[in-house]
Amino acid sequence: MNKTLNVIYEEVAEVTGLSIDERTETLIGVCNGYHLTIGLKDNVYVMYASARKNGSLPDKEFTKEARKAIEGVRSVTIQGNNIAVWIAGASKNKVIANMIAAINGATEYFRANGYEDVCECCGKPMDSINVYNISGGISFLCEDCYAKINQSLKEAQFDEENTEENVLGGIFGALCGSIVGAIVIVIVAQLGYVAVLSCIVMGVTTIYGYEKLGKKLSGKGVAISALVMIAMVFVAEVVQWNIVFSREIGIDFFDGLSIFGTFLGDGEIKTDFIISLMESYAFTALGAIPTIYSSLKKKRVAYDVYQMQ
């Protein structure tokens, strides 16, 4: 947790009685009888609450009026089964003031309009509601719903651990994904645009293809996908350069391909080709590395289940 975030949370926690959860970098707790969490999303602080009236979530009219009535907020929305209150403010002091105002104002507004603190899963008001981390996300659950979700995740984890990686399927998926990426690279290049995004597409689609048909992404899968990407980026580069070369000298594509090696015999052209190829590899890595990281991170927390408060 960075210093600024920690300072903001500490000051808000001192006033409101909420607690700082270092692991998820959020504020959690109960204020005015409502379970709340506050976290940073897209550089905006968002407060979440699970509150319903007669078992129903608020409608658009409620959220519109709530935004006007609650001090220190920029918007109020419904996300899944929770109410999300987006807190205004750019400077540290303004964020702190608005966060405190939003916590008190929102909970008072909920109560004044007949909204109860409920389990976000079953929608019922319960004395046993707690804040849980479910697969990396925060949920407000009663004990019964938590037990059901916990059991379901244990069964899913057992199934996943006993599912063998389908390497052949993964290779086929990676090839299919890389072909899509290669086509995008060639088309974008022919349109005269820089191929940054198209190479990123190559990285994403190849990894996705392996994981989708291989059932899981292991270190072996990452290595295979990397080899497929290296080969297909090279193929895409040869194809797009050969299209230009064939057009320049007035021959068809396949005739050009048969003498492409001679074309690269020119030292200056060969240097330009290698530079272009290296750039494509670098841009492909920009797509592949975050995709791999996201997949492994998701896998790491997929079955994490614990009570936060």
Q: Which residues pair with 86 in a beta bridge?
A: 46, 75
CATH number of 3-156: 3.30.1460
Q: Are 209 and 173 in contact (CB under 8 A)?
A: yes
Q: How far apart are CA 74 and CA 63, in angstroms?
A: 11
- Looking at residue 225, its pLDDT comes to 92
Closest by alpha carbon to 18, among 46, 40, 38? 38
Q: Which residues of the chain have pLDDT under 50?
A: none
236: CB partners within 8 A, 6+ apart: 181, 182, 185, 186, 202, 280
Question: What is the structure's pLDDT at 290?
Answer: 87
Burial 249-286 (b: 16+ CB within 10 A, else e): eeeeeeebbeebeebbeeeeeeeebeeebeebbebbbe
Extended beta strands in the chain, E state: 19-21, 26-31, 34-41, 44-49, 51-52, 73-79, 82-87, 116-117, 130-134, 137-141, 305-307
224-229 long-range contacts, CB within 8 A, separation 24+: 224/167, 224/170, 224/171, 224/174, 225/170, 225/174, 225/288, 226/288, 228/171, 228/174, 228/175, 228/178, 229/174, 229/178, 229/181, 229/202, 229/203, 229/284, 229/288
127 token code pair? 């004395």
Report pLDDT digits (tens) over 74-96: 999 998 889 999 999 878 899 99
Distances in Å between the Cα of 245 and the Cα atoms of 222, 238, 292 are 34, 10, 36
Q: Which residue ranges make up each domain of the chain?
A: 3-156, 167-301
